[in-house]
Amino acid sequence: MTQKDFLQSLLDEADVRLGGDRPWDIQVHDPRLYARLLSGGSMALGESYMDGWWDAEQLDETFNRILRSKLQRKVRSIRTVPHVLHAALTNRSRKSRAFKIGEHHYDLGNDLYEAMLDKRMIYSCAYWKNAATLDEAQEAKLDLICRKARLAPGMRVLDIGCGWGGLAQFMAERYGVSAVGVTVSKEQAALARERVAGLPVEIRLQDYRDLDERFDAIVSVGMYEHVGHKNYRTYFDVARRCLSDDGLFVLHTIGGNESAVTGDPWIEKYIFPNSLIPSPAQTTRALEGRFVIEDWHNFGTYYDPTLMAWFANFDAAWPRLKDRYGERFYRMWKYYLLACAGGFRARHNNLWQLVLSRNGLAGGYESVR
């Protein structure tokens, strides 16, 4: 059996054809692809796409089919073993490396993110329940978080991982609170300060581990994924010491179905270094003795349309971005957004919102949807 035939036999389980005529079928432009994929696994799949060795008209659906069939478990390369061992034995998200993710990913360029995201620049899953556009869905998500946190005028709120300040701005304008937002991205902090000018919002370039002051409520959106499995307890310790006795902590995060100590090698190298999608077990172990889980809401299927909207915006803006970023970046970013969309469509990943209290709310908590 040739390498091509063997690879096709694996792809048959996902109903994906090499050279097929359906939108999710793979078109091979370089015959060296077969050997490269079989020896290099996930890393080779992404890098060969960046190199232009293959294409798929509907890349998101290609990944939906591959991930839903669990094909990745059968082709996991032996080359990933050292990577997993290194992640298990070291703390790649230690404090001395806290600003690496900001420099690598979030500091790429505000022009890129302004073009790709909604008008409030919210870089996390939107809430599409009653929304027709990305702007509407992101605003619905922000309001959902505020209602879950039971915000009221005069409260002081902490936003751990505040991005470009969109949530802090929304909380101040719509709910009459003051806010402190922390980020490890210089570019995010600079633009966020411009966007919240005139509001009772402070934006800090600061690692979450340095926080030690009290707030009436805490929110954290799309940041827990950068904490790392060795730091989950520290993260929740910080949140507990900063939260008032009767306050609520709303945690918005991508979540995985299985525990791991390292993420996808390609995503780690090119998109999110030192990051990890947490599992339910890892999260509940870290929460034990620190917080009471008042609510756990999964709306991961909404990340699929969010990512597809981001790609549509990015693709439409590419003519004015291409001179700065280049063709290889385009293929890398397209692969990132559409592969992730397929992953959420396949239910390979989830999106959780947890509502946490220090000691359990007297009388209980009524879920907000």
Catalytic residues: 340
Residue type, 342: G
From residue 132, how far is each of 140, 287, 306, 344 by CA, in Å? 11, 36, 11, 19
Read out DSSP for 145-173?
Answer: HHHHTT--TT-EEEEES-TTSHHHHHHHH
Q: How far apart are CA 226 and CA 77, in angstroms?
A: 24
Q: Which residues pair with 55 in a beta bridge?
A: 27
- The phi-psi region of residue 288 (left if phi > 0; otherwise alpha if psi is between -120 and 50; otherwise beta) is beta
Strand pairing of 178-183 and 201-205? parallel
Structure tokens belonging to residue 73: 């478990």
Count of other CB atoms within 10 angstroms of residue 271: 21
Q: How far apart are CA 251 and CA 149, in angstroms?
A: 10
Read out DSSP for 333-346?
Answer: HHHHHHHHHHHHHT
Q: How far apart are CA 6 and CA 169, in angstroms?
A: 54
Length of the chain: 369
